[in-house]
Amino acid sequence: MKVLDNIRDLRGELSQVRSAGRGIEFVPTMGAFHEGHLQLMRTARESGGLVVVSIFVNPLQFGPSEDFESYPRNLEADGAMAEAEGVDILFAPTVAEMYPDGDVHTRVEPGRLGRILEGEHRPGHFAGVATVCAKLFNIVGPDRVFMGRKDAQQVAVLQQMVRDLNLPLEIVPCPTVREEDGLAMSSRNRRLSPDDRREAAALYAALRAAAASGASSTAELVAAARRVFDQHPAVRVQYLEVVHPQTFEPVDTVSPDALIVVAAHVGSVRLIDNCIVGTA
Ligand code: AMP
């Protein structure tokens, strides 16, 4: 596995791959790898092209009160895990390499989809994600980009960007990898105290209860989830909605492909999760 930190070297490597007619598979990440990231790498590798993984903690997508400074960083451990998964190139640029002027002047603004739900609670987040992904996609030139459904709205924002800007690549959504008790794996889970870690399982339990309720109205689905949260006061729900899987607008009548999305604080950690209604 090659570890590269600058754009020029990466482009040099990838132009040879491209001219040899080989596809490029890409997994963008912020590092602090867990099984969710590793599963994306495995799916990328099974697709047959050269596998590029990026690690970049992108300052543009963190709000002023968020955890950019304290976000976990461990390039050495991540590198060993990526290598064990058969990743070909690990691209880990510095902030100065990605934003040489200290800021970007041109941003990708995802519109309404970027301002609702996660976007409402994290203003500027999706513009930061879309902008860094546009840059990374232009640097790497992938055929396929592998992303976790755990961040379902992020997937929708980037699929919308690919359509709107005619980017010649496919976003491949991959299943959420969970702990044994159902908690979606996340780099932030390690910040949970042991008590909060147990309580955090209520997020997925609530989603499953809603999906399994068989309710045909949004209100009933949400009520089924609320009944689980009522038993877990340590889990402070920020939003809980049933939405259209592409637009993330609320739906009244439930269809099997609708998504139940939730964000909640447990202690000081903010967690998100979602499930497809029809997967009960
Ligand atoms: P992050 O490093 O948190 O920016 O995540 C990088 C990629 O890994 C994104 O596409 C995430 O959606 C994906 N990811 C994070 N957690 C999980 C998980 N538990 N299961 C599947 N994919 C995940």
Compute the half-sphere exposure of residue 159: CA atoms within 13 Å on the CB side of its CA: 18
Q: What is the pLDDT of residues 137-165, one digit of tens each?
A: 999 999 999 999 999 999 999 999 999 99
Q: What is the pLDDT of residue 110?
A: 98
pLDDT at 280 over 70: no
Tokens encoding 240: 């809980």
**How many percent of the chain have pLDDT more than 70?**
100
- Rounded distance from Cα 198 to ligand 1 centre (Å): 21
Out of 34, 37, 232, 265, pick the active-site residue: 37
Q: What is the pLDDT of residue 230?
A: 98
Atom of ligand 1 nearest to the CA of 32: 2
Q: Which residues contact 222 (CB under 8 A, 6 or more apart)?
A: 210, 240, 241, 242
**How many percent of the chain have pLDDT more than 90?**
95
> Going by CA atoms, what residue is nearest to atom 11 of ligand 1?
148
Tokens encoding 141: 């030139």
pLDDT at 216 over 90: no
pLDDT at 60 over 90: yes
Q: What is the pLDDT of residue 221?
A: 95
Q: What is the pLDDT of residues 102-131, one digit of tens each?
A: 989 999 999 999 999 999 999 999 999 999
- Rounded distance from Cα 36 to ligand 1 centre (Å): 6
Q: What is the pLDDT of residues 10-20, one digit of tens each?
A: 999 999 999 99
Active site residue 34: no
**Tally of CB atoms within 10 A around 15:** 11
Tell me, using a 6 A CB cutoff, whether residue 30 lines ligand 1.
yes
Compute the half-sphere exposure of residue 249: CA atoms within 13 Å on the CB side of its CA: 4
Q: What is the pLDDT of residue 185?
A: 98
Q: What is the pLDDT of residues 256-270, one digit of tens each?
A: 999 999 999 999 999
Q: What is the pLDDT of residues 159-209, one digit of tens each?
A: 999 999 999 999 999 999 999 999 999 999 999 999 999 999 999 999 999
pTM score, whole prediction: 0.97
What is the arithmetic mean of pLDDT over 218-246?
97
Q: What average pLDDT does the structure give for the chain?
A: 97
> Going by CA atoms, what residue is nearest to atom 5 of ligand 1?
29
Q: How far is CA 280 from CA 204, 236, 263, 274, in A?
A: 12, 24, 20, 12
